[in-house]
Amino acid sequence: MKYRLRSMLVACLLSIIALSMHTIYTNDVYAQQAPPLSVAPFKGDYAIGMRVTLIGDVTGSFAPNDSVSIKVTNPNGQTYKDVTAKLDDGGGFFYEFMLEGSQASVVGIHAVEATYKSLKANSSFEVKEKPTLTISLSQPSYNLGDVVTLTGKVSPRILVPVEIRVYGFNNTAWKAVAVNADDIRADGTFSIDVGELSGRNVQPGKYRVEASYAEKLATASLTFDVKASGKVAPGRFMIVDATGKQQEEILVGQQVLVQADVRNNLMEKQPFAYLVLITDVDKITVSLSWITGTLPEGETLSAAQSWVPDGAGRFTVKAFVWKSVNEPEVLGKVLETTVTVSE
């Protein structure tokens, strides 16, 4: 009796295992016969007038060039896109369209539905109001050697950069920079140092700034003057190591160079002396050195003086450009920075 009961229990258990294996096998077959479908916007939000890109794929069985149906519906329930997209050889597809027209320009969440055979996939994206852009400069005019700082504001804030181009002397391109989307604050404001007014392609005169945002749907422009203050324009002042890498902290006994660009604002050669004065926190001079030379007309030279600190602390570093050591006529502004020297 016990043997027969044990045999019945074993047979029952084997039946359950077989049924489970059959169910798993059946599910696997079903999964292969009904592959998943996905669809999503390239970005999560857009502004009215921008181009929307929808991308998706079929990850199971499919036939290249098969059609995937795509419907896009606005927050009012109006379907304004009812199209098809072809599958490529890898099962992917995409569809692009502009947010223009009364139905596509409704602000809010737009729904996306994709259909392939018996499969459906859903996604959404947000449409925001038409973008605007304003910009301003830190000052109305600059001197050669100054750093141009631009501030601005965009609305709405979406994940796209602000493109900035600056044109200078004789309408030549001076700078092309971008404010990355992550650098735009939550309230839409931003700030960026466009660049230092130094180098051979920088001349006094009228400069023009052109900025664009959200696929150039929002633009802004302004102008500023660049002046030559003094006979030279010192700029790009920094402390570098032997390889030319900028240093904010150096070691006792480490040789560094106190380096600055010096631009001749005159269209004639002129002699100059580049002096470097280094003082400690008590304003006691720890180093004073200089070099002399001649600046070619309208050109920029890089001047540098070596310094090997013999003690730790915080130091102030100043650079002066004079006519000569014996004739202390100031030719341009004084440059200043600080540096920490560690043991």
β 218-227/141-143 pair status: parallel
Residue 12 is predicted with a pLDDT of 40
Domains of the chain: 37-128 (2.60.40.1930), 132-227 (2.60.40.1930), 232-342 (2.60.40.3880)
Residue 200 is predicted with a pLDDT of 67
Please calculate the CA angle 104-183-335 and round it to the nearest 5 degrees.
145
Kind and range of the H or E element at 2? helix 2-33
Which residue ranges in the chain fall short of pLDDT 50? Answer: 1-34
Q: Determine if the pTM surpasses 0.75.
A: no
Residue 174 is predicted with a pLDDT of 93
105 secondary structure, DSSP code: T
Please calculate the CA angle 340-197-220 and round it to the nearest 5 degrees.
115
| 172-207: pLDDT as tens digits | 899 999 999 999 999 999 999 999 887 667 888 899
Show Cβ contacts of residue 331 under 8 Å, excluding neighbours closer than 6 positions.
Answer: 230, 231, 232, 270, 272, 321, 322, 323
Contact in structure between 87 and 55 (CB atoms under 8 Å): no
The position carrying tokens 């700030």 is 191
Q: Which of 307, 228, 233 is nearest to 272 (CA)?
A: 233
Residue 228 is predicted with a pLDDT of 76
282 forms beta bridges with: none
Show Cβ contacts of residue 224 under 8 Å, excluding neighbours closer than 6 positions.
Answer: 137, 139, 140, 141, 142, 148, 206, 207, 209
Residue 173 is predicted with a pLDDT of 92
| Token pair for 156 | 């709405």
Amino acid occupying residue 141? S
Q: Which of 209, 57, 82 is nearest to 133 (CA)?
A: 209
